[in-house]
Amino acid sequence: MKYRLFSFTVLAMTVIMGYSQTPSFKQMSKRLNANSLPLVNLTVNTSRLSSTGFVNGEIEIADYKKRTDPSSQNVKYLCKIRYRGASALKYDKKSFAVKLLDKSGCDLDANIFGIRNENDWILDAMAIDRIRMRNRVCFDLWNQMSSMPYVTNYGNRNGTKGEFVEVFINGSYQGLYCMTDKVDRTLLGLKKAKAGNDGHVAIRGLLYKGISWGSASDLLSYENAAINKLIWNAWELKYPDDYPSSSWQPLKDLIRFCSAQTDNHTYQKEWEAHFYKDNLVDFMTFAMAISLRDNGYKNMYLSCRNIEEDQRFLITPWDMDASLGGNWNGDRAEGTSHLNRFHGIGPYNRLYKENIDDFVGSLRGTWRKYSNSVFSQSNVERLLDCYADQFIKSGAWKREYEKWNGNPVPLGASPETELTYVKEWYKKNYVHLSKSLGVSK
């Protein structure tokens, strides 16, 4: 009994010492080297943090490569901070939204890691992802295959960019995160609302985000609800959020077109006046390739560049942790993708099921094109291995494992176990999707 008590005491002390010996932000900043991930320290009153309002603070970034400021490894900005997410807020490892500020408290744009000039940034905790990279890998793949159908200031990019970082709160280690830009008006090149001399505001660019499952987020029908709020049915108005009463009508019109109210002849004749065909085909191909499980129009953006000139809407994906053989709660989802996945979501419910304008042929051609490049097994494995290599060489995975294993999902002492599963899952899904679309491999 005494031996067991002594062993338990030693083990407990070892665990406690392991945590207490995790270096502080100041200590790790001094040890930066070519293998280090960038370090991010948030200085903030944690007792005031919430998801509903921003709290003033400071963000310091230490980057060995000096990508934010070529003259220094360390840069500091005043900022506002809040928790971000919906269901993810229940986890101990929280994600953060950060808004950079100048000394007068106004928005400040900074080109962090050379991603783009922006004041809004996200620190994604990836708490339910057992390899802490699914969302980033998926966005990388999306950015390789899809681009905007019009010219933007950011290389026609239709998805986020990000860098893996290690985050500290008031100097204490918080874990492995991905720091990314946002899907917003500037990234997508949406036209600003325009005020006339008579005070009337003309709504032009529009950005909606699907926030829950439902008939409205499936673009099939909607319930009457107040339109003077930022939330309507299963959608959130992201831009222009100053004028909700004037901004919901275009989405209502889109849902009405996609609904059963539109007869088949009108639908076939007019659907390309409402959507970009290449974007629809790209997204369905992409969703099947990586098996998105928590994205319909939930966890997706719909945008229109200028509703006064063009009523076509564009899809931009979001929040793709439930992918590549993973589920929304972090469990493994070993089943393969099925082409009927979008049968209940407009406009796929007609385009694919009824093969309007040879939509199925377009899917087949897109998979044939990208299955040998973007979605080749070698390209997907290259991305996975590249990020895993960063995690291991920097020591970030070891620190993440020690702090967050089992909370809320189990982590491997090395990312290799889950990586092996993901690679095997992808190989199986790749063969299945090729067979389903009639593309020989």
User: For residue 289, how far is the Cα from the chain centroid?
Assistant: 17
Alpha carbons 206 and 196: distance in angstroms, whole number: 18
Distance of CA 36 to the CA centre of its chain: 24
Per-residue pLDDT, 89: 85
The C-alpha atoms of residue 115 and residue 98 are separated, in whole angstroms, by 15
- pLDDT score, position 441: 67
Beta-ladder partners of 77: 59
Spans of the chain below 70 pLDDT: 1-21, 441
β-pairing, 231-232 vs 235-239, is antiparallel
Q: What is the CA radius of gyration of the chain?
A: 23
Residue 360 in tokens: 């199925």
The contacts of residue 220 (CB under 8 Å, 6+ apart) are 255, 258, 259, 260, 344, 345, 346, 349
How confident is the model over 182-211, as pLDDT tens digits? 999 999 999 999 987 777 889 999 999 999
pLDDT digits (tens, 9 = 90+) for 36-61: 999 999 999 999 999 999 999 999 99
Amino acid at 183: V
Considering the entire predicted model, what is its pTM? 0.93
**Structure token digits, residue 394:** 């920097």
For 20, residues 6+ apart whose C-beta sits below 8 A from its C-beta are none
How many Cα atoms sit within 13 Å of 392 on the Cβ side?
Answer: 13
Contacts of 165 (CB under 8 A, 6+ apart): 37, 38, 39, 40, 61, 123, 176, 177, 178, 179
Instruction: Note whether 291 and 429 are within 8 A (CB).
Output: yes
Give the closest residue to 267 by CA, choosing from 357, 366, 145, 367. Answer: 357
Contacts of 361 (CB under 8 A, 6+ apart): 355
